[in-house]
Every structure is written in structure tokens, then in C-alpha cells.
Amino acid sequence: DDQLPDLVIVGAGLFGLTVAQQAVEKTGARVVMLDVRDHIGGNAYSYFDKETGAEIHKYGAHLFHTSSEVVWKYVNRFTTFTNYVHRVYTTHNGEVFPLPINLGTVNQFFRASYTPAEAKALIDEQAGELAGKDPQNLNDKGISLIGRPLYEAFIKNYTAKQWQTDPTELPASIISRLPVRFNYDSRYFKDTWEGLPTDGYTAWFERMIDDPRIEVKLGVDFFDESQPWNKSALVGRVPVVYTGPIDRYFNYSHGELKWRTVDFVERRYDEGDHFGCPVMNFADSDVPYTRAIEFKNFNPERRAQQNPDKTVVWEEYSRFASREDEPYYPINTESDKSLYETYSELADQEPNVVFGGRLGTYKYYDMHQVIATALASFERTIEPMLAGKE
């Protein structure tokens, strides 16, 4: 068919962008990329705020980090990175503590001057109630990592606000993301490389697909049969990479996968710096939002281009997503996991359709993981599918 490209990609997030870039570079394919939104970049999209000069991450804070040399080399082809190192603070009981929980947090909390060995011994004793058990859920994992007092101060209420699911129902892996350290290292991520794209996320993404063989169609809904780039018109006729919600693809025929969504409330202050840091978490239940993001502070290297007298802050609220909401985080209870398996088996039977990304595989991925899976999926599945095309 002359009118069809060699590959259609549904979703212009990091999975789709990486596949588009690879398809053109490795096979010279003509690619059409669709997105229902009016911009590329998926949830990593950002824009510059006129009043303050802040780069606003429209779907919440995105911090790039990776320990994969392949991924780090790949992303550096399209952007340089600032020397930003992510550090977070949390407010608990009217006091500000460093996160992730480290020796500074422990000593401030217990008003002590424990050495690493002393702090470890104390935590071991406090975690003793679960001694010998392999923690299977977030509650048990939290207590066994840091003991009940610290768990209840910094994890329990925050997690309740963020997930609105009983912590004993949540997978332990959610907080395995957060390291616990018995030294004063307060870096949030333990990866080899981290930083923010020097000219912003959107400039990075535009460079990935800056090629005449890639056409991006924005505001196009793949499930809207009144426009030509829809599912029934394309699947089976052209290879498709689908990065939307997997349950949506199958018209929710076996039920809905559960997601958490995030709402933001914007505040503007007539001051240069409101929190003194980019991210302030609120550990207690009296503050209804989980955290506040002060975007200017992600990019101190841009001070000269920022307004010294104004700042913009987004308060982040978390709740269950309905079908109409933007899905952010898979909730991943046992019943969600088995429902996903059902959809995943259906997906395997779709002719020439590859599912990818956070939404397409119901996975709590960071940006670097999405890029890694896109590169792998391209090599393993998509490139062979395109073989034979010019």
C-alpha cells in the first residue's frame, strides 16, 4: 500500500521516540507517529514558564538517571546533561529532614549522634519484629528496612496519600526504589549517571525525531474510527508499535487495569525561592498533597534567565485514575497482575503489533528503563518486522 508508511507508532513518549529514531537510522523506514495529545514526549514533556523562566514538567518531576552505559551513550547523542544531582527533603511534625532516609535523617529523628554501626544496630533491633521473614509487601518491607518508628514517620502516611491502597496490599518493590543509607550520602538515586537535559526535555525529544522520514500527527486518537489513522484501518496492514494503555487496546474486554493519577495545584509566590530545594515531600497526613515541586530549583545554572523575584510551585495530589484520567502509576495488586497477564497473552497474538512503554506493558518504568526496553524491543522484534522494507 503506497499510502501507508513502513511503521506506525501510537504514542510519542520515550518508547515511541526511541523506536522511531532507531527505525529510521537502522532501516530507513518511513514512520508515522500518532499521539492523542497536542505535544510529543509523553509524561516527560516540559515547557518554559514565561513569568519565572522555570522549566515546568507538565506531568510531574522527571529526573534522568541511569547506570546503563548503552542508555547513557544513546541519550547523549541528542542532548547534553546538567550536573544536577537529585536530593529531596521531607517535612514531618514541623521539621525538615533529608531523604532518602540516611544517617542524617536517623540522627535528626532520634536526636542522636549514632555512628553507622550504632544506627544499624538500632534499626536491626527495631526491625526485629519481622526477623527471619522475607518481606512480601510494602508495609513489611518498610519496617524491615528502617524499623517501625521511622517507617511510621516517613513512609506510612506518605504512601497512604500516594497510593490510597493498604501498604500490606502494595508490592515491596515500590519502596525498594528508595535506598536507605547508613552514611550521610543524601543522593536520591544510586545510579552512575544523572542530570537534566541542558535545553530542556522537549528540545531533547525534538532532536530524536528530527528527520523528514518521521511524520508526527498530534491530536490523533487511534481509537477514533472517524479519522483514517485508527486501529481497524491499520492493524494487520502495517507494523504497529502501540504504547497506549494495553486494556484500552482490547476495549477493556477483561476489565480495567488500575492506575494512580496525579493532579497538580499551581501556586505562584512573589519571592525568588520558596522552599530552597526542588522537591519538598510532606510525610504527614495533615498536608493533603504528597509533595511540592519548585521547578526553578531544578536548573540553578539558568539563574540568569530566571525571574529573581518570582517562583512557581506545583502541589502534587494523588488519587485513583478513572478511564478519563491520565494514567501515571500502575497499582499492581495481585489481581491487577493477573489481569495484565491475560491482556499480555492477547497482545502476543496481535499480528505485527508490538506493545511497549509504561502504559503498554503496565510497568512502573523510569525514563532510562523505557529507553532500554525500546532499544531491546527494536532489535529483537521491530527490526525483524521491518526487514524487507527500504
| Binding footprint of ligand UDP on the chain (CB under 6 A) | 90, 99, 154-155, 158-159, 162, 174-175, 177-178, 281, 283
Q: Which residue in 51, 95, 124, 177 is the catalytic one? A: 177
Residue entry with cell 540568569: 304
Can 289 be counted among the known catalytic residues?
no
Q: How far is the CB of 308 from ligand UDP (least distance, A)?
A: 29
Shorter beta-carbon distance to ligand UDP: residue 26 or 177: 177
Q: How far is the CB of 80 from ligand UDP (least distance, A)?
A: 24
Phi and psi at 9, nearest 5°, equal -115, 125
In angstroms, the CA 10 to CA 350 distance is 15
Can 191 be counted among the known catalytic residues?
no
Shorter beta-carbon distance to ligand UDP: residue 74 or 154: 154
Residue entry with cell 528496612: 145
Instruction: Give the number of residues written for the chain.
Output: 390
In DSSP terms, which residues pair with 90 in a beta bridge?
Answer: 97, 281
Can 269 be counted among the known catalytic residues?
no
Q: Which residue in 291, 294, 315, 362 is the catalytic one? A: 291
Shorter beta-carbon distance to ligand UDP: residue 57 or 231: 57
In DSSP terms, which residues pair with 240 in a beta bridge?
Answer: 8, 353
In angstroms, the CA 135 to CA 143 distance is 9
Q: How far is the CB of 179 from ligand UDP (least distance, A)?
A: 10
In angstroms, the CA 240 to CA 229 distance is 11
In angstroms, the CA 68 to CA 123 distance is 32
Shorter beta-carbon distance to ligand UDP: residue 149 or 272: 149
Q: Which residue in 260, 340, 358, 365 is the catalytic one? A: 260
CA distances from 185 to 175, 188, 214, 299, 366 (A): 18, 9, 44, 21, 22
In DSSP terms, which residues pair with 31 in a beta bridge?
Answer: 7, 214
373, containing H or E segment:
helix 367-377
Can 302 be counted among the known catalytic residues?
no
Can 316 be counted among the known catalytic residues?
yes
Q: How far is the CB of 298 from ligand UDP (least distance, A)?
A: 14
In angstroms, the CA 247 to CA 340 distance is 8
Q: Which residue in 45, 151, 181, 315 is the catalytic one? A: 181
Q: How far is the CB of 40 from ligand UDP (least distance, A)?
A: 22
Q: Which residue in 49, 194, 294, 316 is the catalytic one? A: 316
Shorter beta-carbon distance to ligand UDP: residue 176 or 305: 176
In angstroms, the CA 184 to CA 68 distance is 25
Strand order in the sheet with 214-218: 214-218, 31-35, 7-10, 240-242, 353-355
Q: How far is the CB of 260 from ligand UDP (least distance, A)?
A: 9
Shorter beta-carbon distance to ligand UDP: residue 174 or 220: 174
Q: Are 168 and 138 in contact (CB under 8 A)?
A: yes
Which residues does the annotation mark as catalytic?
Answer: 177, 181, 260, 291, 316, 364, 366
